[in-house]
Amino acid sequence: MWIAVGLVVVCALLVMPGVRVRSGEARPLLVGTGGQWRRMYGRRSLLRLLGATAAAGVLAYSGLDSAVDVLVGKRARTGRGEGVSSVVRYPGERFWFLSWLITGAIDAWWRRGSFSRWGRRNFEAMVVGLPTLWTMQRVLGADRPSSGEDPRWHPMQTDHAASGHTFMAAIPWLNLARSCGRPLPRNAARAGSVLTGWSRMNDRKHYLSQVILGWTIAWNAVDAVDDPGPEATGAAPEQRTEHGEANP
């Protein structure tokens, strides 16, 4: 854990070029979280989440979740597959939240660069999306494949209905994809956002429906953070005269 945290901090401070934040230019963490939360629970995001929940329900109650679990077991749970799964699982571990928090704090008050801005957006997206993740996990209440239970929902009984590892790992990849100008790296980053979800299915920690919900919540959170307005940037809205000219 601490090795990963240390590497992130070193990258934020030394590896990527950046400029020191001057006095009076600091933009505190969470300054735009209120607006981001409103976008997270806006009409577009809620419709996307409702669609994902409906799809997850079909998978859970139709038997497709169990069929996919069996299929993954036959094709992926080999020696090589287990090795890959053990590697791509780590980006979804909880300690990355601390890593991105530290990187975001560096961006806010010390040194600002492309890496620190990326880390800050990761932290902000996690803050915005976690309440939805926790709510879906508990309200739907599905179990893990490894528990021996079916994938159907048991409201308020367990808290595995949405994959937390998928959520945590998808956010950095999705933020990276949005910063890529070319289609190839953008699509590669989007593909990377599902790797940890695949590993959770391979390890029988989540069904496909649970991975879909975790990934969709991550997409909504990144979408909310990626649409900054004056409130998110800390800047006042531009004032214009009656002739359409900007006031100084």
Per-residue pLDDT in tens (0 to 9) along the chain, 248 residues: 555 666 665 565 544 555 555 554 557 777 777 888 888 988 999 999 999 999 999 999 999 999 999 888 776 566 666 677 778 888 888 888 998 998 888 888 777 778 888 999 999 999 999 999 999 999 998 889 988 788 899 999 888 999 999 999 999 999 999 988 889 999 999 999 999 999 999 888 999 999 999 999 999 999 999 865 444 444 433 444 444 444 44
In a domain, 239, yes or no: no
Residue 157 falls inside a structural domain: yes
pLDDT of 133 reads: 96
Residue 245 lies in a domain: no
CB contact set of 146 (below 8 Å; sequence gap of 6+): 203, 204, 205
Q: Output phi, psi for 83, to 5 deg.
A: -65, -45
- The pLDDT of residue 185 is 92
pLDDT for position 9: 58
Cα 89 from Cα 198, distance rounded (Å): 9
State residue 246's pLDDT score: 42
Q: Of 129, 196, 211, which is closest to residue 163 (Cα–Cα)?
A: 211
Cα angle: 88, vertex 156, 196; to 5 degrees:
5
Query: Tokens 């079916």 label which residue?
Result: 150
> What's the domain count of the chain?
1
In a domain, 9, yes or no: no
- Per-residue confidence (pLDDT) for residue 84, from 0 to 100: 78
Instruction: Give dist(CA 92, CA 169) in Å, integer.
Output: 4
Instruction: Please tell me the predicted confidence (pLDDT) of residue 163.
Output: 95
Domain assignment of residue 10, yes or no: no
- What residues pair up with 246 in beta bridges, in sequence order? 240
pTM of the predicted structure, to 2 decimals:
0.81
Sign of CA dihedral 23, 24, 27, 30: positive
Is residue 229 a part of any domain in this protein? yes
User: Could you tell me if residue 167 is inside a domain?
Assistant: yes
**The pLDDT value given to residue 8:** 62
Instruction: Give the domain extent around 84.
Output: 29-233
Q: Tell me if 216 is assigned to some domain.
A: yes
